[in-house]
Amino acid sequence: MLAAFANPVFDSQRTFRELLQAMARPAVPRALPVLPPAPESVAPAAMAILLTLCDAATALWLQQPVGNALEHLRFHTGLRVAQTAKEADFALITAPDAMPSLQSFAQGELRYPDRSTSLIVQVQGFRNEAGVCVAGPGIRDQEMLHIEGLPADFWTQRAALAESFPLGIDMFFVAEQHVLALPRTTRLLEH
């Protein structure tokens, strides 16, 4: 069994602060402070997020079997396994070009919009040039965003979710040691 964070309490606290900053400043990449060992096919940045946010009260859905990742996460966090994407609190997307439609994940309920799935998506990279234009809380005016490796209709699906706000999904994209957040409050201006 692989180790997790070397200093579980402090490393998860530092990672959590970066995730909060990423959500507060959507579409702006943040460097994660600690990258734990990760099973094959799982990015260390994705593993850092899962080790930080998951516990025995959360359910994880894996897009595809990724070696011993599930056993590793269950050992270190105690999380439950979601049988379907709709049942998941968190979903790990390791092949974004083949990911299910965004509608297949839990969007929350009007009384409990927080009962939705948060996606952790491993991508090839992202940058703040070209791409789509986004706006919303935490973004001064607007921000350009390009995320490599997403399905061709991703932004159309994402725009359709905005019509159901406050329902929706929050997303973390990871590439190398960086994370970029796209909360449901972020609006797509053009695509």
Of residues 130 and 29, the one with the higher pLDDT is 29
Average pLDDT value for the chain: 92
Contact of 61 with 82, CB cutoff 8 Å:
yes
Contact of 188 with 155, CB cutoff 8 Å:
yes
Tokens coding 49: 């997020």
What topology does CATH give the domain 8-190?
Rossmann fold (3.40.50)
Q: What amino acid occupies position 5?
A: F
Name the pLDDT band for 4 (thresholds 50, 70, 90).
confident
The whole model's pTM is what?
0.94
Residue 191 has pLDDT above 60, yes or no: no
Name the pLDDT band for 190 (thresholds 50, 70, 90).
low
Q: Mean of the pLDDT values across residues 57-70?
A: 86
Contact of 119 with 96, CB cutoff 8 Å:
no
Q: Mean of the pLDDT values across residues 34-62?
A: 93
pLDDT the model gives residue 1? 60
Q: Domain map of the chain by residue range?
A: 8-190
